Amino acid sequence: MASTQYHGQIVHTLSVIPLGRVASYGQIADLAGLPGRARLVARVLKTADKQLALPWHRVLRSSGQIAFAPGSDEAMEQRARLLAEGVMVKGLRVDMAVYGWQPSLDEILTKLAY
DNA sequence: GCCATGACTTATT
DNA sequence: TAATAAGCCATGG
């Protein structure tokens, strides 16, 4: 079975990211109650079942840059998906100060509470 | 159980 | 802003 118990918490947190907003791996880990597990978030996204329809394209590095190699198919698709949601992407990076997701108190209490 | 790997982060230069 | 280094932690060989 799922050897990681954190898998579910991370998946849940990812599903709460609003359309048109982005978050960093570390931020997701924090919100999921797993500070310092940014790499675990990356692992979950990579291994997660596609049927979960996770908004993986809304997850970026702390710098706002896309985590995939420049020119890779994945990087280009992520860029396209973000643009489709109204997120301006400069090269491979997004302005976190503008598009970074800042969960409201209401969202934290109703969706992220554990 | 040790070692290398990775869709990462922070600090430093 | 970019390049380096060191820290971090679950996985797999």
Check residue A3 and give its pLDDT. Answer: 52
Contact present, A75 and A68 (Cβ < 8 Å): yes
Can you tell me which residue has its alpha carbon closest to the C1' of nucleotide C10? Answer: A40
pLDDT digit string (tens) for A61-88?
Answer: 999 999 999 999 999 999 999 999 999 9
Apex A107 CA angle, A103 and A112, nearest 5: 95
d(CA A83, CA A32): 26
Check residue A54 and give its pLDDT. Answer: 94
Check residue A52 and give its pLDDT. Answer: 85
Check residue A23 and give its pLDDT. Answer: 98
pTM over 0.85? The answer is yes
CA of A41 to C1' of B12 (A): 26
Question: Which residue positions in chain A have pLDDT lower than 50?
Answer: 2
